[in-house]
Structure 1
Amino acid sequence: MFLLIFILVLVVVFSYLPQYSPLISKHISKRLFKITDEELNLRTQVKDLKTQQESISVTDHFAKYFKLQRQIDKLLDNVKGKANARLQKTTMVTMAVKISIHIIHILFMLSLILSYRREPLLVMPAQWFTPLAKLIAFPTGIAGGVGVTFWILACNTVVQKGRRLAGV
């Protein structure tokens, strides 16, 4: 009975886990790809130049104003380049987390199927499953038994239908 509930919990967890992969990857990315001191210095330089530019009148000191504007634009391009590089790495982490979740799910289910392929999870009277007895007992072949493969498929179906009804 414990194994039946355990498989149901695994199916529920692995059906909702992909939804949280952006959150998981966000935390991983924050730890791996921090804003560098160089980027922080560039940002402070941009702020300083903008305050300096605001103190200058455009009409009185046209050349000096646009010289500062070119410096600001150059620094902003550098900052954007560094931010884009960090964003690309974050996107790769997000994809890796999603793929990892699916691989772990597959490995868990395969290991359960291979571990319990010879013994049924639950044995009931064979008459209850008369037309579908062999399908339900797969891969054990024991009449009246509920095989792990059938139980995983049943749990998956129930969880997916429940999610659709709940609108998740």
Structure 2
Amino acid sequence: MSTTETSNNSQQFNYNAFWFITFWGLFTTLMPNFVKLVLWIFFKDSQLEKNLRKQITELKTELGTINMTQEFVKYAKIQRKINKMTEDLKNRGNTKTMLKLKVQVIVYGICYVTMGLTTTYLIWSYRYTPLARLDHNLLFPLGPILAFPTGVEGAIGITCWFSMVTYSSRTVKRILSST
């Protein structure tokens, strides 16, 4: 391939910007899922909570084998133990839920601010760079809209491409989540 063909192809298609904008648009759509996954990893049940649940289940099983009228003292003692453990587990869960909610609000805030600033930077920096160029006859009558803000006939601009990627990825996500 000659140098004129190489420079001509780079004018026809800006691979790096095209793929980065495509993946960035997908990420902006999937960011809530990513945050939920990260929160799930960091806020999994601790070993203590798992042990408490296991002990409560075992005590309830034991309680089911005891006749309440004949062994009331033993029954009441186990029942109090179950109630205490259940209350402890509930308190731990409430504390963890409040902490998780605070962290979630902070992480979402940071992500949305970062996404907004990055998207603004990308659109501003690449506003005159065509991400792809096609024959202008193929794009008729939408050519000027697709080329916005590049002003290059037959081009696809960053604003249009980013909008198309985010819209289509949100649509696919909604369709997949409804099935």
What's the TM-score bracket when you normalise by the shorter of the two chains? 0.5 to 0.7
Q: Deviations over 1:37-79 (max 9, x none)?
A: xx79988997998899899875456456535543542343233
**Match of 1:105?**
115
Q: Deviations over 1:98-119 (max 9, x none)?
A: 4544444333322210111233
Identity of aligned residues (%): 29
1:28 Cα shift? 2.3
Q: 1:6 aligns with which of 1, 15, 20?
A: 20
**Match of 1:167?**
176
**Match of 2:7?**
none
- How many residues matched? 163
Task: Tell me how far apart the structure 2 counterparts of residues 29 and 134 of structure 1 sit (CA, whole Å).
Answer: 49
Give the alignment's TM-score, normalised by structure 1: 0.65
**Match of 1:28?**
42
Q: Return 5+ residue gaps in structure 2 as ranges.
A: 1-13
Q: Counterparts of 1:71-110 in structure 2 under 5 Å? A: 72-110=82-120
Change (3 A) 1:131 1:42: closer
Q: 1:121 aligns with which of 121, 125, 131?
A: 131
Higher relative contact order (CA 8 A, sep 6+): 2
Task: Tell me how far apart the structure 1 counterparts of residues 143 and 158 of structure 2 sit (CA, whole Å).
Answer: 14
RMSD over aligned Cα, in angstroms?
3.9
Give the alignment's TM-score, normalised by structure 2: 0.62
**Match of 1:144?**
154
Q: Return 5+ residue gaps in structure 1 as ranges.
A: none
